[in-house]
Amino acid sequence: MPTSQSETTEKQVFSVIGRSMPRVDGPLKVSGSATYTSDHNFPGMLYAVPVASTIAKGSIAALDTSAAEKMPGVKAIFHRRNIGRFFRVAPNPDFSVVIDERRPPLDDDIIRYYGQYVAVAVAESSPEAQAAADAVKVTYHEETPDVESKLTPQNEPTVGSTRGDAGAAFATAPVKVDETYVTPAETHNPIELHATVALWDGTSFTLYESIQAIKNQQLAMSAMLGVPPENVRVISKFLGSGFGGKLWPWTHCLLAAASARNLSQPVKLVVSRKMMFQTVGHRPLTQQRIRLGATANGKLTSTQHDSLNHSSIQDDYDEGCGEATPHLYRCPNLRVTGGVVHRNVGTPTAMRGPGAVPGLFALESAMDELAIKLNIDPVELRLRNDTQIDEALNLPFTSRHFKECLTVGAEKFGWHQRNPAVGSMRKDGLILGWGVAGATWIANRLDCDATIDLKADGSVRVACGTQDIGTGTYTMIAQIAGEALGIDPDKIEVVLGDSALPTGPLSGGSMVTASLVPALLEAAKKATQKLQFMATTATPFSGQSADNLVFSNGRIHRKDQSAADGVPYDQILKSANINSVSGTGRSQGDFTDLLGLTKPKLSSHSYGVQFIEVTWQPEIARLRVSRVLTVIDAGRIINPRTGRNQIEGAVVMGIGMALFEYTFYDDQHHGAPINSNLADYVVSTNADAPNIDVVFLDYPDTHLNAYGARGIGEIGLAGVAPAIAAAVYHATGIRVRELPIRIEDLIGSTVRA
């Protein structure tokens, strides 16, 4: 379609994409009027508190609810014999319904992990429910749980990506690294607790959930509760984040729904912070052996990445640590394997950058060790091993600027001033360590439907059955639709978080933004085409053919007119006496190769590099992350303000991953994740956050969608931990291969102030 000069100019002036808009839902959030799941209250509301197992392995010997049942306000104590039936959903190969913990709650008397729910107390108030839950007497046949953190393979490893002969090439490589890296179990700690508010009207459920995937939740709950999907409506208007822990249903969701059905009253269940360490997933412990072989001038000749992760007794959660390894560097011989080791722990799940984030801690730490062995600068080593094709798929990339991330970052960070000698750099009496690591994350699209209504009152409504995990989906949609329509985003109402809306993508895998663009563009086109037809019978366009009319900047005008001379769309609607026109768009997940179901035509990933400075004070063993520069190649950035915020948040999380976070399963205390609170499980705070400089390269990836936008929820975390570990080595001479890096690890440093 030819575009006139004036239209092109106006398009450039009207640029909502790339605008640093504040969040459209910001005022609701700061004023406390955004309704999170547990903010929903209904007449006759009851409160449910689960009873959690105090052993990690064994069985229930007796469950005595008699005292609890007689307590004030108590409506019921549900357990295996009286809660009713749940259905177990078989794993389905097309991932159309995902449930990480497949065993429904209260399914049998066997205990497989600490905190497994054994009953649920329902009462008229939350304290009464808590008191009743505490009064349920459970006795167990306890067995010794297996929460061993050293992993040994229980099965043959699964071979992932493979090319050439990695073993033979390693054997003959002149320079080698062969090391094992460990990342601990990490617990998701979004500020908002998991919660369900369940309503049952005799036929249908309405479930208010803190969930990253309302559509999957609808299908999964329908299947497990044994009601048709159309009788389950899932609502999730605001999330206080989830980090992956809220992607799939957990057992508390079913306890709440079944309680509401059994009692015919609304039931609220809020999972406690302690229970969040037990029953709603975690990033599993990983143990990864990396073998790299290289020539003397630093060309990789062999890469082997063999990883294990723990999973629960019943579920095979595969972390997939080797996800990024096959395409990050050029290497003719490669082999990636993975394996699962079953332990008496809750079922693990995806956590921000699953697979790649722990995987890159291993791979990028090994690259740093290789650079030191070769006496080659670690930035230079990565430049020498850059690849312009994805050798795993033998496909070109949609858009890859990893090299530029390295060179731009090195320049901005001042990397050329780095003295590679350990402990050689000082500033203000502190020892400096500078480290670098590469980052990558998938760039994909999921199926997405969206509807745009243009209304006669001049407003626009955009509806999509996705949800805003908290990072800006409402804002992003207002911007994308605003750009597509040439209408100010302030006039656009965005409606999300209801499974009754057109099916939208889950908020996971950094895929929402990229998935939305094609759907919104098509919806905008369909709605505005209807307007064009409508305008052919309205003044001043009567008698014009629709082909001769254009919609741009919110107005209908003739092709030979500029938009400014056209008629605002709401006037067309008003004169036609029509309240609104609607268009629905659909985008398909062309890049769903992450499930390995379709053969992609191109390889699509985001890239980045983390440059990190630490300061080390050997006199008092004090380590700080003092400076971070992150260069991100993630396509066109729709909103640099929320985008920078995403990356900064991820970097702060990465500091926690490198230095603080680990979930400790204590075999001396019944296999409990014993540091199950925010005092003992340390996450980064503002005080730990250094100056973080975020640079977006901003190359539109137009293979992914017309605006060239990718998601950026996870890429900022990738590479942080290995860059910190590299910086710590540079400062102290100590290579820490097991996260988190602790002060105890560094005491042996011989670097002196």
- 220 burial (CB, 10 Å; 0-12 / 13-18 / 19+) is buried
Instruction: Tell me: does residue 320 bind ligand MOS (CB under 6 A).
Output: no
Piece of 31-39, 232-240, 348-356, 454-462 that binds ligand MOS (CB under 6 A):
348-356
Which is closer to ligand MOS, CB of 98 or CB of 614?
Answer: 98
750 near 619, Cβ under 8 Å?
no
Which is closer to ligand MOS, CB of 352 or CB of 384?
Answer: 352
The helix, strand and coil proportions of the chain, stated in percent and rounded to the nearest 5, come to 30, 25, 45
Q: Is 294 left (phi over 0), alpha (psi -120 to 50) or beta?
A: beta
Question: How many other C-beta atoms can be found within 10 angstroms of the C-beta atom of residue 247?
Answer: 24
Query: Which residues make beta-bridge pairs with 62?
Result: 139
Positions 479 through 508 that interact with ligand MOS (CB under 6 A):
508
Piece of 349-357, 412-420, 533-541, 591-599 that binds ligand MOS (CB under 6 A):
349-357
Query: Residue 358 CB, nearest distance to ligand MOS (Å)?
Result: 12
Instruction: Tell me: does residue 401 bind ligand MOS (CB under 6 A).
Output: no
Q: Which residues are annotated as catalytic?
A: 714
Query: Residue 191 CB, nearest distance to ligand MOS (Å)?
Result: 15
Query: Residue 657 CB, nearest distance to ligand MOS (Å)?
Result: 13
* Whole-angstrom distance, CA of residue 669 vs CA of residue 751: 39
* Whole-angstrom distance, CA of residue 334 vs CA of residue 301: 8
Which is closer to ligand MOS, CB of 352 or CB of 730?
Answer: 352
Instruction: Tell me: does residue 351 bind ligand MOS (CB under 6 A).
Output: yes
Instruction: Give the residue closest to ligand MOS by C-beta.
Output: 244
Which is closer to ligand MOS, CB of 486 or CB of 504?
Answer: 504
Question: How many other C-beta atoms can be found within 10 angstroms of the C-beta atom of residue 570?
Answer: 19
Piece of 3-11, 345-353, 571-579, 674-682 that binds ligand MOS (CB under 6 A):
345-353
Which is closer to ligand MOS, CB of 368 or CB of 714?
Answer: 714
Query: Residue 715 CB, nearest distance to ligand MOS (Å)?
Result: 11
Which is closer to ligand MOS, CB of 319 or CB of 570?
Answer: 319
Instruction: Tell me: does residue 672 bind ligand MOS (CB under 6 A).
Output: no
Return phi, psi of residue 311, to 5°: -140, 180
Positions 694 through 753 that interact with ligand MOS (CB under 6 A):
none
Q: Which two tokens stand for residue 369?
A: 């060790």
Instruction: Tell me: does residue 350 bind ligand MOS (CB under 6 A).
Output: yes
> Applying CB under 6 A, what is the total number of residues that bind ligand MOS?
10
Sole binder of ligand MOS in the list 244, 322, 472, 643 (CB under 6 A)? 244
* Whole-angstrom distance, CA of residue 163 vs CA of residue 301: 11
Residues 6+ away with beta carbon under 8 Å from 681: 187, 189, 277, 661, 662, 663, 675
* Whole-angstrom distance, CA of residue 645 vs CA of residue 155: 42
Sole binder of ligand MOS in the list 37, 196, 212, 513 (CB under 6 A)? 212
Which is closer to ligand MOS, CB of 68 or CB of 715?
Answer: 715
Q: How distant is the alpha carbon of residue 592 from its chain centre?
A: 16
Pairing of strands 691-696, 622-633: parallel
Which is closer to ligand MOS, CB of 265 or CB of 467?
Answer: 467
Instruction: Tell me: does residue 77 bind ligand MOS (CB under 6 A).
Output: no
Q: Which two tokens stand for residue 176?
A: 């080698």
* Whole-angstrom distance, CA of residue 64 vs CA of residue 70: 12
Sole binder of ligand MOS in the list 160, 354, 589, 656 (CB under 6 A)? 354
Q: State the helix-helix crossing angle for 214-225 and 251-263, rounded to 10 degrees.
A: 60
Binding-residue pattern over the window 505 to 524 for ligand MOS, x denoting contact by CB under 6 A: ---xx---------------
Query: Residue 675 CB, nearest distance to ligand MOS (Å)?
Result: 22
Instruction: Tell me: does residue 247 bind ligand MOS (CB under 6 A).
Output: yes
- Strand arrangement, sheet containing 58-64: 110-111, 58-64, 137-142
Sole binder of ligand MOS in the list 335, 352, 384, 627 (CB under 6 A)? 352
Pairing of strands 300-311, 334-342: parallel
Residue whose C-alpha is closest to residue 361's, from 311, 426, 417, 305:
305
Contacts to ligand MOS by CB under 6 A: 212, 242, 244, 247, 350-352, 354, 508-509
